Amino acid sequence: MTNVSNPVAQLLNTGNLVVRDADADDGISTYAWQGFDYPTDTLLVGMKVGVDFVTGLNRTLTAWTSDSDPSPSPYYYMLEVRGDPEMVLCEHSKKVWRSGPWNGLRFSGIPATLTFTGFNFSFINNEQEITYSFNTISSVLSKLTVNQSGALQRSLWVEDIGMWNVIWYVPMDQCDDMRGRPCGSFAACNPNNSPICDCIQGFTPKSPSKWLYREDTDGCVRKTKLDCNNGTDGFHVISNTKLADTSNASVYMNLSLVECKTKCLSDCSCTAYAPADVRSVASGCIIWTSELTDIRVFTNDSYEQDLYVRLAAIDLGQSSTASGKSSKWVTPFVIILVLTVLILACIGYLMWKRRKRRQSRAMQESNNSFHDRSNQGLSSWNDQLELSQKNDLELLLFDFGTIVSATENFSADNKLGQGGFGPVYKGMLGDGQEIAVKRLAKRSVQGVVEFKNEVVLIAKLQHRNLVRLLGCCIKGEERLLVYEYMPNKSLDFFLFGKPKEERLDWQTRFKIIMGIARGLLYLHHDSRLRVIHRDLKASNILLDKDMNPKISDFGMARIFGGDEVEGNTRKVVGTYGYMSP
């Protein structure tokens, strides 16, 4: 701390508490001490995470033990400066998640950065400091937090509801979490595939018997040993990837990508290289001389990050042509290959057309089984969608135009909130009935018939402490669920959104607790369809006009996951902070 003759403490509008000389200007150069240099669990605009080599500061974020206990937990967020620097989330000394290195535009492992509007991200890497920070445009308020559950979250402040809305978090899936190292070395992880792990081209599972049982931690080994002496090795390109762990990699910012390739081929221990800066013409490079671990593949072509993995010529599908002569069979082979691909493509197209015609006929037959309920476009399903032997439930199928009219075309003014499964809007039907419409996110793997059957099953769950499902609407990719409207919002509004003097009295709290318990007892024990909620939290407890609690979203995991009747699952379902370990 710098000595000052007349010290004063000042809390700035940015949230930074500073100590400065009262007789000097309040510029940052005159701060004797500032709170932003000693963050706790939250990073705000203007704060930095990373190392200042001049002052010796190493700024990290450390999660609280609990919401009411600010003592340090085992989870912390820091900048790893070894090799090519990257941000890491740790539990004790073990890495939980890493960002991938900065590629000039973003961290290679955070493609979501491309979708963030209103943000400017900064990464400084020079002799004075290696730090990461962010700024926002206009009046956007944002924070980055490490919570006690071990998740890193970015949130936006929503003024209308007076709450923080989480827009991004990690670890998000199995490929994010490094603790289990699901794929091992020389393997790539893709959460959209099944299984999620696959050996890189030119590699094969180190333990094939374990690989069959999805035990992938041993990773992969080369099919063919590298040929360093004859210079016949080449490179396989993995596109749209989070680069492998760079803590043991070397960075050469003065080399072009071509020079980097040459340098890698001249070193027998080199296993891969990648551009260090992907802006315009790629410049600088990263070189690995060890095993490649924690590689992740993304599906969006706009991520623009390539990894060049060194392979023996035979594993690239090449033949050794040291004399400069190409094999005679290459040309006819290519012709035969092209003709085969064309024939298979034609067969595939004809099969696809045939399947589409069958689906169209099936959909027509299904639609013919619906009859008009009223001039508002309501229909009921026939017992062909009932999973029981008798039709003991009439579930309404709402017309999409009716929903659009009721919600004023999903107007922002009618939006009640945003959950993990999609936004919820308030609506009013033509007869004056108020409804709540959940517009499901377009990520369910179910088809139309499966979705309808699932909704029918959920609608069978009738209890005074469950939110009643009135019906649904299917239009193209749209999946809408229509619920009864709860005028008193959700429980978290009364627990966290009101001043202390206006919060619930204990008689009302006891009434709500008992109602929640009765609803869960029905879901777990008394209902025909056993349901495990897996995302029970205050925002999913809605309150009617008499403050009676009603559990919502109890069927969402079924629609999006499909294994709700099982007690054990390997899927991540729910909200961090409310999930069982």
List residues with catalytic annotation. Answer: 535
The CA distance from 178 to 190, in Å, is: 14
Residues comprising the chain, all counted: 581
Helix intervals (H) in 84-243? 208-212
Helix (H) or strand (E) holding 492: helix 491-496
What residues does 422 pair with on adjacent strands?
A: 419
115/414 Cα distance (integer angstroms):
25
341 phi-psi bin (left φ>0, alpha ψ -120 to 50, beta other): alpha
Coil/strand/helix, residue 378: coil
Q: How far apart are CA 76 and CA 148, in angstroms?
A: 10
Token pair recorded at residue 289: 């001389």
Question: Does 85 sit behind a cis peptide bond, omega within 30 degrees of 0 on the bond before it?
Answer: no
User: 102: closest CA among 251, 259, 248, 262?
Assistant: 251
Give every CB contact of residue 129 below 8 A, 6+ residues apart in sequence.
Answer: 48, 50, 51, 52, 53, 54
C-alpha span between 579 and 535 (Å, rounded): 7
Asked if 225 contacts 260 with a C-beta cutoff of 8 angstroms, the reply is no
Per-residue tokens: 386: 């009932």
Residues linked to residue 31 through DSSP beta bridges, in sequence order: 20
Structure tokens at 146: 């490490």
Joined tokens for residue 31: 């701060």
Q: For residue 251, what are the contacts with CB-CB under 8 A and spacing of at least 6?
A: 83, 84, 276, 284, 285, 286, 287
Residue ranges of alpha helices (H) inside 329-398 are 330-368
Phi first, then psi, for residue 350 (nearest 5°) are -65, -40
Structure tokens at 545: 């006009």
